Copies of this chain bind each other. A is one copy, B any other.
Amino acid sequence: MMDLSQVFYPESVAIVGASDRNIRYYVEAMVEAGKLKVFVVNPNYEEVSGVKSYPSLTDVPERVDYVVVAVPAAQTPSVLLECAKKGVKVVHIFTSGFSETGTAEGRALEEKLAEIARCSGFRIIGPNCMGVYCPESGLRFVNDQPGEPGPVAFISQSGGRAVNLVANARLRNVRFSKVVSYGNACDLDFVDFLEYFKDDPKTSIIMGYVEGFKKTDGLLELLKETCMRKPVAILKGGVSEEGARAAAFHTGSLAGSARVWDGVCKQTGVIQVEFFEDLLDLAAGFMYAKPPGGSGVAVMTNSGGSSVVYADVCAKYGLRVPEFEEETQRRLRSFIPVAGSSVKNPLDAWMAFARGKMMEALDAAASDRNVHSIIIELQPENFHVYSRRALDIRDEMAEIAIESCRNVVKEHDKPVFIVVNSSYYHETERAMAKFFQDAGFPVFSSLQGAVKTISKMYLYGRFKDAREDDHQPPQDNYEGSFPD
């Protein structure tokens, strides 16, 4: 079997079937990335988006490592035979109309593609998918994908959601090592990509969206091994009866039951997630914070209502918002007035902000022995509705807050999670989020997102510690279950 690095690091790409009306964006996006030799193959065009078009793959005068196929389904076998002739190593089949149609012809055609690949020694991604985005090599599947790499790999059976996740990751300062949308998986499947990312030094966090696993041999062992090295968070689609039907017609997948999947996660350490947004929350969490060493959370907010609901939601997700030790309360009370505040935890402490005591307040909270992580909630509204001059001090307050957060991480080695609530005052929201993101902190747009993430990170940390310490069969050691 070939080294999968050829899937992610080709030097030349040919896009077969591209035209002004068909996947021109692959051509544009890869030319814009500027790292690969890009060829177009389409007998009906002289050029597509400024790139010369060849009548056939064998007419391309240079070596072609990687081919994107976007011709009608019926013509894909002949293109694959050309790929074989040309000595191509990886073929991404964008085209749909195979097993996901639910027809015998569709299934037969897909099997034929796999057969040609097996005989010819190249590998197939797809069919019915968006293929690979790899910032380092310049592979992209749509316009506007960032050129900077990051530590997150995303293995997605859905193309649309891969496009979406990459786009919206920019809001979270989340960047990718590699993203692969692999559709019907007639050859390369989840397990192949996971195997690669397990060892990939450029990847330290793995996210997945899976509808069904075609190859299951060795999957459990591989998941266990990988989870010991890097967090693996997976959204499993098709866990309900109607979701499974949708999965069958989306990627031709046979989805399993929720219960089986739950068992797999518990055995292997996979972090289960429920929504696509959760994947980004977790990616931001793992990128910019370490898993907390315990379940105790200190919450700092300027809304008493929020503070109550945070405590409830933390409890629901297996975290605690422990009452601060007496010493902590004493320290806080020395500069936070009694009226309109609480120093028990949650810390309802607008006054600490307003009086420039953020550093002292956070230092006191982080010194508490029962606190293992800190959530700071910021409301963009506060800079607009109480005083029209408050916006002038927004950036100054953010600087102080960031210094205070850095102190927590440096002096106390405890992770800090920032919530900037999504707001009508969007510009303020974005500015505040960006301040903290640029300073290297994970930012969430809701209480729920932050609490779910901390809970899952904490359980992942506990799972890893238990395995490392005891060398016991994991299912005996790992009692927590990942709530979702």
Contact = CB atoms under 8 A, between A and B. Distances in A.
B423 A143 contact: no
A171 B445 CA distance: 15
A235 B309 contact: yes
A477 interface: no
A275 B239 CA distance: 25
A164 B446 contact: no
Contact of A250 (B237, B242, B313, B342): B342
A294 interface: no
Interface string A445-471: 111100000000000000000000000
Contact of A240 (B142, B158, B163, B315): B315
Interface in A8-59: 24-25, 28
A313 B275 CA distance: 9
B381 A158 contact: no
Contacts of A167: 381, 384-385, 423-425
A420 to B, nearest CB: 13
Contacts of A342: 100, 246, 249-250
A305 B384 contact: no
B340 A96 contact: yes
Interface string A238-252: 111111011101110
B305 A161 contact: yes
A6 interface: no
A404 interface: no
Given A25-B385, A96-B339, A142-B385, A171 B424 contact: yes
Interface stretch (A60-68, A320-328, A436-444): A320-328
A306 interface: yes
A97 B24 CA distance: 65
A157 interface: yes
Contacts of A209: 305
Interface string A161-176: 1011001101100000
A330 interface: no
Nearest to A316: B240
B308 A246 contact: yes
A316 B277 CA distance: 17
Contact of A308 (B95, B247, B304, B424): B247
Interface core residue of A143, A255, A312, A388 (most chain B CB under 10 Å): A312
A340 B237 contact: no
Contact of A242 (B170, B321, B421, B425): B321
A255 B430 CA distance: 35
Contact of A245 (B238, B275, B323): B323
A103 B73 CA distance: 76
A246 B304 CA distance: 8
A336 to B, nearest CB: 12
B385 A308 contact: no
A250 B348 CA distance: 8
A305 B158 contact: yes
A367 interface: no
A340 B239 CA distance: 22
A164 B97 contact: no
B425 A97 contact: no
Interface core residue of A304, A425, A430 (most chain B CB under 10 Å): A304
Contact of A386 (B103, B143, B168, B426): B143
Q: Which 4 A-B pairs have the closest CB atoms?
A: A158-B305, A160-B303, A97-B339, A240-B315
27 contacts: A97-B338, A97-B340, A101-B338, A103-B338, A142-B385, A142-B386, A143-B385, A144-B385, A163-B385, A167-B385, A168-B422, A168-B424, A170-B424, A171-B424, A209-B305, A237-B309, A238-B308, A240-B314, A243-B308, A246-B308, A246-B342, A246-B346, A250-B304, A250-B307, A275-B447, A422-B445, A426-B430
Given A145-B385, A168-B423, A275-B448, 12 more contacts: A24-B387, A28-B388, A144-B385, A156-B305, A158-B303, A168-B421, A240-B316, A242-B321, A242-B322, A243-B308, A250-B304, A275-B447
